């Protein structure tokens, strides 16, 4: 079932959406949620359908409004808001930016190909962005951070926090910064009762220009990203040994040892 969000995009001229709203299929958000949960620590899931029962029963093509607030205690609201915000953001990135490969970032420098010195480099202290991602054809290198919020005044503060987080890393090739897109996404939830009435999906998306890199480096960068995506996906499904091999390939320093 299709639901809508009030949509804002910075810079406006680059928006993939024409008009003031963006629509997403609830099932696509749930599918994105499955992929997101499978790629992070936790139990494997076969299928789920959780969102429709939580939404106001206003039908297809209507705003994505929850029946009531997401829990009563603040810590529950924050946890669920952040989780559902990731699901919506991933579905949005998959549909409107054609991204399908998502690697999750930890707290340390991440090798994409140690032999070619391709890595994700931390720039500042604090939480790293949610994903480094790309399209299935190994293009459109993207760093993305998602936030969910209940701020009555709108999603601006959450979007600023997301943008700060998205700017905490660079992708480098032998110390040179690589061109990429940084995307910050903030979803302000709407509530049918006891909360804001409108739901917003706000995006900030300028291109961050870097230095040119050789085609061999570019290929290795995207292959390293793909290895991390697959490793994160298959480990919770019981393939820990194969996941470990894929991780080790990204930080193997010598070609003869692969």
Per-residue pLDDT at 46: 46
Residues 6+ apart with CB under 8 A from 12: none
The Cα–Cα gap between 86 and 159 comes to 13
Closest to 184 in 3D by CA, of 3, 1, 11: 11
Find, among 80, 75, 81, the residue nearest to 199 by Cα: 81
pLDDT computed for residue 109 by the predictor: 66
The count of other CB atoms within 10 Å of the CB of residue 1 is 12
pLDDT at 108 over 90: no
Across 45-49, 90-94, 102-106, 252-256, least confident range: 45-49
Which domain range does residue 120 map to?
2-257
Q: Which of 203, 103, 200, 85 is nearest to 143 (CA)?
A: 103
Enter the tokens of residue 152: 């009555």
Q: Which of 231, 239, 237, 211 lies closest to 111, judged by CA? A: 231
Mean pLDDT of 178-188: 94
Q: Rounded distance, CA 82 to CA 104, Å?
A: 15
When mean pLDDT is compared across 1-10, 72-81, 162-171, 220-229, the lowest value belongs to: 72-81
> Which of 63, 38, 58, 56 is closest to 48 using CA atoms?
38
pLDDT at 159 over 80: yes
Supply the pLDDT for residue 104. 87
* Model pLDDT, residue 45: 44
| pLDDT of 95 higher than 90 | yes
**Quick one: pLDDT band at residue 151, thresholds 50, 70, 90?**
confident
Total domains in the fold of the chain = 1
Q: What's the pLDDT band for 172 if we cut at 50, 70, 90?
A: very high
Which residue would you say has higher pLDDT here, 72 or 174?
A: 174
- pLDDT score of 42 more than 60: no
Provide the pLDDT confidence category of residue 186 given band limits of 50, 70 and 90. very high
Question: Average pLDDT of 128-140?
Answer: 92
Give percent of the chain with pLDDT exceeding 90: 52
- Residue bearing the bigger pLDDT, 69 or 220: 220
Pairing of strands 180-188, 190-191: unpaired
Q: Per-residue confidence at 249, pLDDT binned at 50, 70, 90?
A: confident
pLDDT tier, 15 (very low <50, low <70, confident <90, very high otherwise): very high
Model's pTM, two decimal places?
0.86
- Overall average pLDDT of the 15-29 stretch: 94
């Amino acid at each position: 079932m299709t639901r809508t969000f009030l949509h804002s995009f910075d810079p406006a001229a680059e928006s993939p959406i024409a008009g003031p709203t963006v629509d997403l299929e609830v099932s696509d958000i749930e599918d994105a949620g499955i992929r997101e949960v499978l790629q992070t620590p936790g139990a494997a899931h076969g299928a789920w359908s959780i969102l429709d029962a939580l939404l106001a029963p206003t039908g297809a093509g209507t705003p994505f409004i929850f029946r009531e607030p997401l829990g009563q205690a603040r810590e529950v609201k924050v946890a669920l808001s952040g989780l559902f915000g990731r699901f919506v953001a991933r579905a949005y990135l998959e549909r409107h930016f054609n991204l399908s490969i998502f690697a999750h970032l930890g707290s340390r420098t991440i090798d994409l190909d140690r032999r070619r010195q391709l890595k994700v480099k931390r720039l500042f202290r604090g939480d790293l962005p949610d994903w480094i991602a790309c399209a299935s054809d190994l293009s459109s290198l993207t760093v993305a951070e998602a936030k969910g919020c209940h701020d009555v005044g709108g999603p601006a503060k959450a979007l600023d926090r997301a943008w700060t987080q998205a700017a905490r890393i660079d992708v480098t090739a032998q110390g040179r910064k690589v061109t990429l897109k940084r995307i910050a996404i903030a979803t302000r939830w709407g509530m049918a009762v006891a909360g804001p009435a409108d739901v917003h999906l706000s995006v900030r998306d300028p291109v961050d220009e870097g230095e040119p890199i050789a085609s061999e480096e570019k290929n290795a960068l995207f292959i390293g990203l793909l290895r991390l995506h697959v490793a994160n996906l298959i480990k919770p499904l019981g393939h820990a040994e194969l996941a470990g091999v894929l991780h080790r390939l990204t930080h193997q320093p010598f070609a003869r040892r692969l």
